[in-house]
Amino acid sequence: MHIDVVSVFPEYFHILELSLLGKAQQSGLLQLRVHNLRDWTHDVHHSVDDTPVGGGAGMVMKPETWAECLDEVLPQTAATSHAKPILIFPNPSAPLFTQEVAQELSQAPSIAFGCGRYEGIDARVADYYRTIGMPDVNTRCTLDVREYSIGDYVLNGGEVAVCVMIEAITRLIPGFMGNPESIVKESYTGEPLLEYPQYTRPTTWRGISVPPILTSGDHAKVDRFRRDKSLEKTSVLRPDLIQCLDCHALDKADRKTLIALGWNVSGAHPVRSHNTH
C-alpha cells in the first residue's frame, strides 16, 4: 500500500516509524510519504490560512495552497496503481470512521490524507476534487474523496486522527501482523461485539485470580465463557451494538445469555425487555 500525507506538522508522523508500522515500511509492504503543506506557499511567512468569509473566530486553511499541493501529490499517489485514488480529510462533522471502513480501505493500493488545522480546510477543496477530480496530462482522473470523524470530539488538527486511521487500516493488510489470527476476534471485527477480557500469567496476581474456567483445559467451555463475556461487556458498554445482532444467527447459548442480560431475542434483532431497569 502507498500512503501520502499532507500536513503543516510533518514531524507528527515520526511515530509511524515505530513498531509494526516501521517494520512494514522497511519490508516494502507499506510506502509512506509525508509532505509539508508549507512547501507550496509563496510568501515569506509561509501562510496557509486566512480569516473566515462571513466573520467568525479562528482561521481557515486557504484553498489555493491545498490545490497546488494536491495537484502535485495526487498524480504521484495515483501512479502507484490503476485503481481510483482515495483522498481522505479528517473532519469532526463527518461520518464516523469504523472498523468496517478500515477493513475496506485496507484493500486500497493507494490513499492520500489531508490534515486540516485551525477551523479546517476551505470546504471548496473537498468539493472540487470530489467533482472535478485531479489533473492528469490532458484529461482528468476521478477521485474517491471522503471525510471521516474518529469520534464525537474536536482535536487541534487532523494529524492525530490520520495516525489513528493509518494504524487501523494498515494493520489489516495481509502480512502486516506477525500472527494474523490475532485480529480475527478483536472488537468490531466480524460481529459487532466488544472483545472479551484477556489475561496472562501468573494466574493469581496480588490476590486476584483469573477465571478458573480459563485454566480448565476445556476449550469448548473456554470459548463459551469468552463469548458470554463478550456479549455481557457489549451489553453494558455498547448496547447499540447488541441491537445490530441478527437474532436468527444466534445459537441457543447466545440467546440464553442475552435473555439473562435483559434482551428480547424473539424478533429480527435484540431489543431491551420491558421489565429491564
- Interval 110-152: pLDDT, tens: 999 999 999 999 999 999 999 988 766 445 667 899 999 999 9
pTM value is: 0.87
> What does the alpha-carbon distance between residue 69 and residue 39 come to, in Å, rounded to a whole number?
8
Query: What are the residue ranges of CATH 1.10.1270.20 in the chain?
Result: 204-272
Query: What are the residue ranges of CATH 3.40.1280.10 in the chain?
Result: 2-181
Q: In which element (H, E) is residue 260 found?
A: helix 252-260
How far apart, in Å, are the Cα atoms of 242 and each of 22, 231, 256? Answer: 36, 8, 14
Cβ neighbour number for residue 264 with a 10 Å cutoff: 16
Q: Say if residue 157's pLDDT is above 70.
A: yes
In terms of DSSP bridges, do strands 110-114 and 2-7 run parallel, antiparallel, or are they unpaired?
Answer: parallel
CA–centroid distance for 44 within its chain: 37
CATH topology of domain 204-272: Trp Operon Repressor; Chain A (1.10.1270)
> What does the alpha-carbon distance between residue 231 and residue 85 come to, in Å, rounded to a whole number?
38
Residues paired with residue 87 on neighbouring β-strands, in sequence order: 112, 145
| Mean pLDDT rounded to a whole number for the chain | 92
Query: Quick one: 2-181 is in which CATH superfamily?
Result: SPOUT methyltransferase, trefoil knot domain (3.40.1280.10)
Measured over the CA atoms of residue 78, residue 81, residue 87 and residue 90, the dihedral's sign is negative
Q: Say if residue 185's pLDDT is above 60.
A: no
Are the C-beta atoms of residues 97 and 86 closer than 8 Å to each other?
A: no
